[in-house]
């Protein structure tokens, strides 16, 4: 009798919900503020707003997977956390913070590779050729402008993010999930390429808009796209 009464006597825990519409509105509102603050060099505003981008993604992903979270979802949350660390380090100037940021995003991409590769379908030769060719061109551009000690970790990072984009191109999932994650991965490569060019080659006009714009959409598409593998109807 005790065992039949006890479950019914326990208080029910309410499921936390956040709709896709609310998340999207908050996410892009915060992102626009970050771009504005960054464009006008309002550093205090950037320090406060920028971390909220990945915090919101982590919160939304956590809520959406609360009833069916598996190993892949846990690893994605960890990957988002290291992106948050990377964003935080890159808010400060100096080679030390740049290397910490690079290392944090390196872990993010390694986790993305592991998660995306668990649903590997087959080699996408066109994607492999295009992504590798782009990376080689970027390396040739950067090689002339980066000192040797810094070149090695950057090459390691470039090889990793190249593999991340390739693994996104070779996922076995539904078409909508595949498309969104792949677009997000390509935008991530583009964003990091813009950072490298702006940092080591030539300053890019409206760099904050271009770098953060591609990064914001990259993380958004990866988050939403990977959730779409669970169901195409989540909201």
Q: Give per-residue pLDDT as tens, 125-174.
A: 999 999 999 999 999 999 888 887 888 999 999 999 999 999 999 999 99
Q: Report pLDDT for 15.
A: 60
Is residue 10's pLDDT more than 80? Answer: no
DSSP characters for the chain? Answer: -HHHHHHHHSPPPPPP---HHHHHHHHHHHHHHHHHHHHTT-HHHHHHHHHHHHHHHHHHHHHHTTTT--HHHHHHHHHHHHHHHHHHHTTS-SHHHHHHHHHHHHHHHHHHHHHHHTTB----HHHHHHHHHHHHHHHHHHHTTS-HHHHHHHHHHHHHHHHHHHHHHTB-S-HHHHHHHHHHHHHHHHHHHHHHHHHHT-PPTTHHHHHHHHHHHHHHHHHHHHHTTT-TT--
Residues 69-120: tens digit of each pLDDT: 899 999 999 999 999 999 999 999 888 999 999 999 999 999 999 999 988 8
Average confidence score pLDDT of the chain = 90
Quote the pLDDT of residue 104.
Answer: 97
Q: pTM here?
A: 0.89
Pick 203 or 112 by higher pLDDT. 112
């Amino acid at each position: 009798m005790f065992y039949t009464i006890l479950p019914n006597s326990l208080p029910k825990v309410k499921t936390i919900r956040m709709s896709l519409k609310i998340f999207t509105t908050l996410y892009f509102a915060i992102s626009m503020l970050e771009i504005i603050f960054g464009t006008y060099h309002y550093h205090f505003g950037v320090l406060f707003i920028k971390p909220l981008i990945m915090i919101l993604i982590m919160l939304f992903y956590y809520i959406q997977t609360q009833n069916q979270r598996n190993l892949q979802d846990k690893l994605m949350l960890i990957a988002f956390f290291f992106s948050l660390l990377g964003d935080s380090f890159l808010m400060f100037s100096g080679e030390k913070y740049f290397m910490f940021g690079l290392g944090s995003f390196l872990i993010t991409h390694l986790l993305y590779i592991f998660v995306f590769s668990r649903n590997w379908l087959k080699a996408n030769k066109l994607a492999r050729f295009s992504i590798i060719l782009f990376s080689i061109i970027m390396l040739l551009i950067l090689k002339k402008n980066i000192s040797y000690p810094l070149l090695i970790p950057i090459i390691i990072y470039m090889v990793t993010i190249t593999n991340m984009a390739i693994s996104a191109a070779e996922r076995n999932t539904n078409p909508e999930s595949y498309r969104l994650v792949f677009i997000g991965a390509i935008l991530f490569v583009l964003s990091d390429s813009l950072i490298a060019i702006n940092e080591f080659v030539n300053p890019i006009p409206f760099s904050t808009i271009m770098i953060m714009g591609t990064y914001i959409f990259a993380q958004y598409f990866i988050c939403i796209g990977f959730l779409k593998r669970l169901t195409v109807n989540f909201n």
